[in-house]
Amino acid sequence: MELRKIIHIDMDAFFASVEQLDNPDLRGKPVAVGGNAERGVIAAASYEARKYGVKSAMSSKIAAKKCPQLIFVRPRFERYKEISNAIHEIFSRYTDEIEPLSLDEAFLDVTFNKIDLNSATFIAQSIKNDIRNELNLIASAGVSYNKFLAKMASDQDKPDGLYIIRPKEGINFINTLPIERFFGVGKVTALKMHELGITNGKTLRNFSLEFLIDHFGKSGKYFYNIARGIDNRNVESERERKSIAVESTFELDIFDSTKFRMQADVILERLWTRYQKFGQSGKTLSIKLKYNDFTQITRSTTKNNRFISKNSVEETGKLLMEQVLPLSKPIRLIGFQISGFQQETGEIATQMTMDF
């Protein structure tokens, strides 16, 4: 199987961090989202509260005893969903292969990505930077060659962590990983494993597939594989792809029209390469510019007929370029996107396939 590049992003103390973001009076203070001092359960705790042993799923009463100055805040799930959507918009700049696990964490497959970079580590750092710069929130990231190890990596260096487990490092990492920390191993399963003498990845690997299936049912095969660094599960995107996009951020800002057109032509070429492999055709082409002050504009054109040739994409792209010229200020990013897809059949699909 082809070596994949998987990122797991996990927002740090997400609910509590959003509350501190929206209410400056809470910043730097121990905050618990959910419950109150007398009853209920903690949904999330700030890192200031965690220093006192306060954590999610803890009863509010116990939490208040551990941290008498703990500030309880009612959860605002609509607000958390709004911020989560903004985080996913950042993810979608890099890949459409996104598997949300909750409002505050997701897997991303960046083996093939929108910015055509080979380094998953660079992409993970870029995502963390975007979240910090645009939303004033902190995320941790794990990077590896499968979902299990990426998930484990994101927990290694919180908060604000970035941890990479390369293929040659996978087994050594798993060897010393306590079984309680294995993704997919709950308290009951961990207790049962300890009774069998399984305490970490190395001891788990001592047991045969038949033995593990006999004791853990269908999960036995999963445990057998992950002990060997094997996890072939795909990143399962929940949404149908609605667009194909390519964009580039430049090391030096561009203000010259000639350089702008040259760079835009390169991005259009990359867009066509990605688009003609997709198997669907769209009717709308858009251009996006981000200026050096981080403001951005978009311009779009929707055609009566779908884009089925490279020439039609290039001609429309050049018209969009002229709409944003002359540049009002230096730009740091150019992007193009095709949207308005319909599934291809028959002659149109053949034309697209033959036109590259």
Question: What is the extent of the structural domain holding 176?
Answer: 169-226
**How sure is the predictor about 65, in pLDDT bands with cuts at 50, 70 and 90?**
very high
Please check whether residues 281 and 188 belong to one and the same domain.
Answer: no
Q: Of 77, 99, 131, which residue sits at a domain end?
A: 77
Sole residue written with tokens 């594989």: 225
Q: Which of 105, 180, 240, 251 is catalytic?
A: 105
User: Model confidence over 190-206: pLDDT tens digits?
Assistant: 999 999 999 999 999 99
Whether 96 is covered by a domain: the verdict is no
- Identify the top-confidence range among 5-19, 174-188, 271-285: 5-19
User: Model confidence over 104-138: pLDDT tens digits?
Assistant: 999 999 998 988 888 999 999 999 999 999 999 99
Whether 176 is covered by a domain: the verdict is yes
The yes-or-no answer on residue 105 being catalytic is: yes
Q: Of 62, 77, 92, which residue sits at a domain end?
A: 77
Instruction: Check residue 53 and give its pLDDT.
Output: 96
Instruction: Check residue 347 and give its pLDDT.
Output: 37
Please check whether residues 247 and 221 belong to one and the same domain.
Answer: no
Please check whether residues 259 and 350 belong to one and the same domain.
Answer: yes
Number of domains in the chain: 3
pLDDT beyond 80 at 356: no
Beta bridge partners of 243: 339
Whether 270 is covered by a domain: the verdict is yes
